[in-house]
Structure 1
Amino acid sequence: MLRETFDSEARLSYVLAGLAGILGATAFTHSAGYFVTFMTGNAQRAALGYFRDDVTLSVSAGLLIVAFVSGVLVASVCRRHFWVAHPHGPTVLTTVSLIAATVVDVFDLGWYQNELDFPPIFLVAFGIGALNTSFVKDGEVSVPLSYVTGTLVKMGQGIERHIAGGELSDWLGYFLLFASFTLGATAGGAISLVVNGTGMLVVASAVCAVTTAYTYFHQDRRALLK
């Protein structure tokens, strides 16, 4: 079981979780504090913004939820009809979304504005939703890349099983997934100190494009051969 924690699929999940962390940092550090990975927070904002007389907060949070779910939906449809031979095809959609977000931001505010406006953030949330469908088993997401709350719950349960006589692998994979997301967010925060919001979108697009190329032309072929 411990071997599965470090196999090629697991390593890829850690890389993509780190990418999700970078995207979350991009939106949070160079915008009005929008969440693109934290849909629980957006759900609360959508409901509670009205009680703070902040309709804009409620509407923007609700739209980000719509973008995230739309990303999941479109990626799932593509998996069923177009990416049958590419288990990790959703990374393609994430890359396209990030490039589109960069283009929209440049046309909206130019290269030199530090803050990102809402339209590119909307596209990033769509891309994050698609990214979360990268690992599917029996028609359900098996590795939720940006769902840190669920990851921590599973990690806690795994620690209990390990204490009760289980194995290290009961929780180590979840810890590494959480650590990867946190490391990605930290890296994104560090990058935000030296580049503006558009620059961070460019960096995230480049990282996602490289990862997509690897998964599409190498990792997916290995998975199908197995």
Structure 2
Amino acid sequence: MPKLREHYNSESRLSWVLAGLAGVLAATAYTHSEGYFVTFMTGNAGRAALGLFTDSMWMSISAAALLVSFISGVVIASLCHRHLWRSRPHGALRLTGASLLTATVVDWVEGGPALPVPLLPILLVAFGVGALNTTFVRDGEVSIPLSYVTGTVVKLGQGIERHISGGTIHDWFFNFMLLTGYISGATIGGVISIFVGGTWMLATATVICLLATWYSHRYVDGRGLWR
């Protein structure tokens, strides 16, 4: 642990936890809906276009809506970072938590715990994931994308090459932990989905997000460890 603390500060370790949260949200939306992606925007962009050529108009429309919702979360959270959250670098978690809570209420009103979860609550989850990805910002740009697994895997592969070519384990370990966090979160979400569904799955994800928000504010922002 001393070695870990020496090379990776609290913000780095928090990013691994929040990658896990992104995995939980991916599982929440995918397992109890019509298979919607809230973290995989590459897939949504492809579905939005390809649905037009496969007689799957609803797939095209829903994928485009998820893409727009995700981008809206990024834009709104970025505006809040610039104007409201200057002293709270991880304030995006508040927006994610609020969107998940709203999704839970909307799903309950629309149909209760019945499955599958309709598109509107899933759009709210996608909005929250977009906001979550703005948690780590440096010079106005995202420094650690939490749900962009493709980019993480590419960086992991490049880091492994650097290690082979004379570097150290730290050339790839950070991205390995990001990937591990995401996969672990998705696995946890999958296990949870076996026991609870629909509204209760959304409520569980909301609680997990609120715990992550408390942790970031109490142990990272509140103690100034992000600096």
Normalising by structure 1, we get a TM-score of 0.96
Tell me the amino acid that sits aligned with residue 183 of structure 1: S
Equivalent residue in structure 2 for 1:21, among 23, 27, 36? 23
Question: Do the aligned partners of 2:38 and 2:125 also contact (CA within 8 Å) in 1?
Answer: yes
Structure 1 residue aligned with 2:114: 113
Question: What is residue 161 of structure 1 aligned with on the other side?
Answer: 162
Taking the aligned partners of 1:207 and 1:21, their CA distance within structure 2 comes to: 12
Q: 1:36 aligns with which of 35, 38, 48?
A: 38
CA-atom RMSD in angstroms: 1.5
1:25-104 superposed matches below 5 A: 25-104=27-106
Q: Deviation of residue 100 (structure 1)?
A: 0.2
Following TM superposition, by how much is the alpha carbon of 1:90 offset from its aligned partner in structure 2, in angstroms? 0.2
User: Which amino acid in structure 2 is aligned with residue 40 of structure 1?
Assistant: T
Gap runs ≥5 in structure 1: none
One-letter amino acid matched to 2:151:
G
1:205 Cα deviation after fit = 0.3
What secondary structure is seen at the aligned counterpart in 1 of 2:103? helix
Matched, 1:204 2:205: yes
> For 1:35 and 1:5, how far apart are their aligned partners in 2?
34
Determine the C-alpha separation between the residues in 2 that align with 1:17 and 1:70: 20
The worse-fitting range, judged by mean Cα deviation, of 209-218 and 77-86 is 209-218
Name the SS of the counterpart of 1:166 in structure 2: coil
In the alignment of these two chains, the number of paired residues is 225
Contact 1:4–1:10 (CA<8 Å) still a contact in 2?
no
| SS of aligned partner of 1:145 | coil
Distance in 2, matches of 1:5 and 1:124, equals 33
Provide the rounded CA distance (Å) in 1 between the counterparts of 2:49 and 2:223: 45
1:117-156: per-residue Cα shift (whole Å, max 9, x none)? 0000000000000000000111111110000000000000
| Most deviating of 10-19 and 36-45 | 10-19
Give the drift of 1:218. Answer: 3.7
**In 2: Cα distance, 1:158 partner to 1:135 partner:** 21
TM-superposed CA distance for 1:41, in Å, is 0.2
Partner of 1:220: 221
Residue 86 of structure 1: CA displacement? 0.2
Farther-moved stretch of structure 1 (76-85 vs 215-224): 215-224
Post-superposition shift, 1:192?
0.6
Give 1:186 shift.
0.7
> Structure 2 CA distance, aligned partners of 1:168 and 1:204?
33
Q: Identity rate of aligned residues, in percent? A: 58
